[in-house]
Structure 1
Amino acid sequence: MEGWTLIGCVSVIYLAILFVKRLGKSVPILELMTLIAGLQWIIGPIIEYANPSNHYRYYMYVDQETYMSFIVPAYISFMIFILLGIKNTQNYAIPIYKLQYFSKYGLLILGIGVLFDLIGGFLPGTLGFFAFILSNFKFAGAIILYFSKDPLLRKVFYGTLAYLFLSALARGMFHDLILWLVFFYMFWAVKNKPSILFILTTFLIGALSLATLQSVKFAYRASLNEGYSGNQVELFYNLMIESLISGSATSEAEEGETGTNVRLNQGWIISAVINHIPANQPYIGGKSIEDAVFASILPRFLNPNKAQAGGRENFRRFTGLELSDGTSMGISIIGEAYGNYGITGGILFMSAWGFFLAKVWSRLFKIVLNNITFIAFLPIAFLQVIKAETELLVVLNHLVKSLIVIFLFFWYARNYMNWNFSNGNKG
């Protein structure tokens, strides 16, 4: 391991250590975001270069030196601006224990989330998107209730975890389940102050669980697609046991998949971008960035030509690879940065993006110091931001729109429901 590869590996290890140290002391969402990015943009590709999967599609399209000489400096510049930008927020003690005073609000917020979870599927277009954001309020409510003095209300928190798991089983999609479990773990850690040894142990268990989940989810989805009508929990449990005993739970749905690192390695898409641009396609020159900014600011009725989320258009344009209309696949922000501006411009863009996110976080953190309930809503705002595979259009659109919904909710609750969010008063 030499040069940029070694530097990249060290930077990700540093981020991992920092994330672990801050668990229990704060809610390190941006640190988690940066760590996930490092794992998918650097560690996954390192594994692929060292042990190629020989997959016909999911392989590294450029050599290791070419790839790492852009990705690592771009990632480090992004990381530096994030860490420097949020440094001051680490000096404040979050009075998170005061969430115990807002249990009544937590129940109502949970109810709002459940209501929109039920009706969201019947709402069209933009209304459906806002309903999705409101449906996630149930998780903010559950977080608030976890700090309640009432043990019965605290059990609602664990009931929400069960609901989240059952919803993932019903859809056969586990990405949001994993993210919310990590978010919940952050809040659990702030309350319970686990030791470093305990945190590392849970991480090890989590990594093993993820590896097992990776080996069974294709077989599980295949069973659902074939019309399985039995107990989904029992099906999932049996597949997990089969995987633990035999080492895998095979299915025809797995054809073409070559192991866990295929999912971890976002680098194959980024390398395809580097391979395609500028050899076969000129640098985009900021067009997709401009589209993302306007799409996040203007509603569709004011911007009828608004770009569509899902990643298909940008994936085809930036990589030159085919993608079926029913498939969504993002090129990631760092891939988009290169495709728009090249090496130097891409590194500068990642610096600017890190600076922007840190500024947003710092502003939101100031709200938390005066309104502790707001901290329970931060995972909703950053739900798409922390996904390293997601392009700017999706990330920025979700961040802006979710914050609008959250701020409107607090404004309405304060002015028309007479809710008092002062950290010094009981709700």
Structure 2
Amino acid sequence: MSWTSYFSVLISLHHFLLFFDAVGKIIPVRYLLGVFMCLQFFIGPSLSYNGFDEYQYIVYRMKIPENEYFAYAIPAVLSFIIGLHLNSKGLAGESVDQEKVTKFVNENPKLPYYFLAIGFVASITSGFFSSDLAFVFYLIGSFKFIGLFLLVLGGKYLKPLPLTLVIGSIVSSSLGDGMFHDLLTWVIFVACVYGVRYRFGVNIKLMGLGIFIVFATVIQQMKGIYRESIGSEGAGIETFGKLLEQQNEQNGIFSFESLAPSVTRINQGFIITNIMNTVPDKVPFSNGEEMRQIFEAAFLPRILAPNKLNAGDREVFTKWSGIKLRAGTSMGLSSLGDAYLNFGVLGGCIFMFLLGLSYNNILKVFHNQGKTYPILPLFTTLVFYYPIRPDCELQTILGHLVKSCFLIYVMILFSKDMFSLKKKESFLKETI
């Protein structure tokens, strides 16, 4: 391995250890953002540059020399992480005042169940609306996780039924459409909230980590085969189990022959190398024009911007990456890719710093408002469960941020009394 690969792996390990240590203390949104960045832009590319590329299709191989790639990727990711943590004393916005949450739940014992009910109804009805409105219902569907978190943090006893229903619903929807990102992300957040409630020790965290790695590896190995089989064999746990058994008999899920080709699933660096191979030699830098379109798509509703970028626009992806996608295949340029094709290496690093800083400031707002509305920090999971995926399109990530923050703002605006503590003194007297 070259020094650049070693350095990127060391950064990744350091950030992972920070995340591991934070589990059980806070809801580590910042560290989770960094871990996913390191995984997809450092670990995956390091593996590819050091032997695993030969197991990939030519389209998924790194297209530029290792030093050239890491000369952009390392400072860009570090710039993002620095912006994310700048002046974030105590990781503002990620700590939960469990005592206040318990008081709040005691004052509003029915509210967690309202959140659960609203979330389930919204998830069921979201498919009946057009894309923009459906996305709002998709966000509201995540309220069921907020209801679960309130029961976990504010209740006296463990309630397995709500956990089973909520996790069962996300498992069912993931199997239904063959998309498992939401499942993996929410499992992490649920584990973090349980960690805050029960103060997980090192042994519990190591055990949970081992289970999650096996779980995530199986999903990464199987999701491509499963998606291809949904049309012929139907979606569901039976189909998934049958395919898993067949795959294990053929090559073994954890054999090198099975794992090596799947490195591409954690390597988004190959897309960056295709972009850097295309821009500016074949296509000139956008100089902010493509970024303007991204912000237009993120901040303006389609009624005001009818020609704004569509999610999964293959023409845009092909233009900047040079990769021609098959019908039904969707890939994103990623924030790192959009930053480069608009502003180059130096400008891209500056943009990534500003992106991290904007996330940081959003978390600080949740921290400050959480002093008045104690359950508000729990909503950071709803706001960031999509943006933590750096492989996604930047316009979709920013659109999720804008819409989710606006939704929470409206909710608080019209229900200030409901979401603030009302009986502080009386509650303290009863407790004493």
Superposition TM-score, scaled by structure 1 size: 0.90
Work out whether 1:171 is the aligned partner of 2:182: no
Q: Which amino acid aligns with 2:380?
A: L
- 1:378 equivalent in structure 2: 380
Deviation at 1:147, TM superposition (A): 2.6
Is the Cα contact below 8 Å between 1:243 and 1:249 reproduced in 2? yes
- SS of match in other structure, 1:66: helix
> Structure 1's 267 and 301: CA in aligned 2 closer, same or farther, altered over 3 A?
same
Q: Which runs of 5+ in 1 are unaligned?
A: 251-255
- 1:43 equivalent in structure 2: 43
> Structure 1's 403 and 90: CA in aligned 2 closer, same or farther, altered over 3 A?
closer
> Structure 1's 313 and 223: CA in aligned 2 closer, same or farther, altered over 3 A?
closer
Work out whether 1:196 is the aligned partner of 2:202: yes
- Identify which of 237, 253, 256 aligns with 2:241: 237
Is the Cα contact below 8 Å between 1:269 and 1:319 reproduced in 2? yes
Is the Cα contact below 8 Å between 2:98 and 2:154 reproduced in 1? no
Is the Cα contact below 8 Å between 2:44 and 2:263 reproduced in 1? yes
Deviations 1:53-75 (CA, angstroms, capped at 9, x unpaired) = 24121100111011011101111
> Structure 1's 92 and 378: CA in aligned 2 closer, same or farther, altered over 3 A?
closer
Structure 2 Cα separation of the partners of residues 324 and 373 of structure 1: 44
Q: Which amino acid aligns with 1:419?
A: M
Deviation at 1:221, TM superposition (A): 2.7
Is the Cα contact below 8 Å between 2:334 and 2:392 reproduced in 1? yes
- Identify which of 145, 157, 168 aligns with 1:139: 145
- 1:113 equivalent in structure 2: 119
Structure 1 Cα separation of the partners of residues 82 and 362 of structure 2: 16
Give runs of aligned pairs for residues 6-405 of structure 1, distance below 5 A. 6-51=6-51, 52=53, 53-89=55-91, 94-100=96-102, 101-102=104-105, 103-149=109-155, 151=157, 153=159, 155-228=161-234, 232-243=236-247, 247-248=251-252, 259-324=261-326, 326-405=328-407
Is the Cα contact below 8 Å between 1:413 and 1:419 reproduced in 2? yes
- 1:408 equivalent in structure 2: 410
Q: Which amino acid aligns with 1:204?
A: G
- SS of match in other structure, 2:16: helix
Deviations 1:209-254 (CA, angstroms, capped at 9, x unpaired) = 222222333333333210438xx3233334445555655479xxxx
Is the Cα contact below 8 Å between 1:381 and 1:403 reproduced in 2? yes
Deviations 1:383-423 (CA, angstroms, capped at 9, x unpaired) = 22101101321111110011111221222333xxx524228
Q: How many residues align?
A: 416
Q: Which amino acid aligns with 1:235?
A: T
Deviations 1:112-152 (CA, angstroms, capped at 9, x unpaired) = 11111121111113211211111111121121122343647
Structure 2 Cα separation of the partners of residues 261 and 368 of structure 1: 40
- 1:419 equivalent in structure 2: 418
Structure 2 Cα separation of the partners of residues 70 and 170 of structure 1: 38
> Structure 1's 234 and 295: CA in aligned 2 closer, same or farther, altered over 3 A?
closer
- SS of match in other structure, 2:375: helix
Of the structure 1 ranges 313-322 and 150-159, higher mean CA displacement relative to structure 2 is found in: 150-159
Is the Cα contact below 8 Å between 2:293 and 2:309 reproduced in 1? yes
Deviation at 1:20, TM superposition (A): 1.0
Structure 2 Cα separation of the partners of residues 77 and 423 of structure 1: 42
Deviation at 1:157, TM superposition (A): 2.3
Is the Cα contact below 8 Å between 1:332 and 1:392 reproduced in 2? yes
Is the Cα contact below 8 Å between 1:45 and 1:268 reproduced in 2? yes
Deviations 1:310-364 (CA, angstroms, capped at 9, x unpaired) = 2424311211221245332101101111111111111111111111111111111
Q: Which amino acid aligns with 2:39?
A: L
> Structure 1's 88 and 30: CA in aligned 2 closer, same or farther, altered over 3 A?
same
Superposition TM-score, scaled by structure 2 size: 0.89
Of the structure 1 ranges 117-126 and 234-243, higher mean CA displacement relative to structure 2 is found in: 234-243
Q: Which amino acid aligns with 2:282?
A: N
Of the structure 1 ranges 391-400 and 91-100, higher mean CA displacement relative to structure 2 is found in: 91-100
Structure 2 Cα separation of the partners of residues 158 and 125 of structure 1: 29
Is the Cα contact below 8 Å between 2:152 and 2:197 reproduced in 1? no
CA RMSD of aligned residues (A): 2.5
Q: Which amino acid aligns with 1:140?
A: I
> Structure 1's 410 and 157: CA in aligned 2 closer, same or farther, altered over 3 A?
farther
Structure 2 Cα separation of the partners of residues 159 and 299 of structure 1: 33
Structure 2 Cα separation of the partners of residues 325 and 287 of structure 1: 27
Deviation at 1:293, TM superposition (A): 1.9
Q: Which amino acid aligns with 2:239?
A: L
- SS of match in other structure, 1:372: coil
Q: Which amino acid aligns with 1:373?
A: I
- 2:430 equivalent in structure 1: none
> Structure 1's 266 and 90: CA in aligned 2 closer, same or farther, altered over 3 A?
same
> Structure 1's 265 and 92: CA in aligned 2 closer, same or farther, altered over 3 A?
closer
Q: Which amino acid aligns with 1:45?
A: P
> Structure 1's 121 and 423: CA in aligned 2 closer, same or farther, altered over 3 A?
same
Deviations 1:70-96 (CA, angstroms, capped at 9, x unpaired) = 101111121122123423435996312
Structure 2 Cα separation of the partners of residues 366 and 247 of structure 1: 52
Structure 2 Cα separation of the partners of residues 369 and 246 of structure 1: 56
Is the Cα contact below 8 Å between 2:335 and 2:393 reproduced in 1? yes
- SS of match in other structure, 1:26: coil
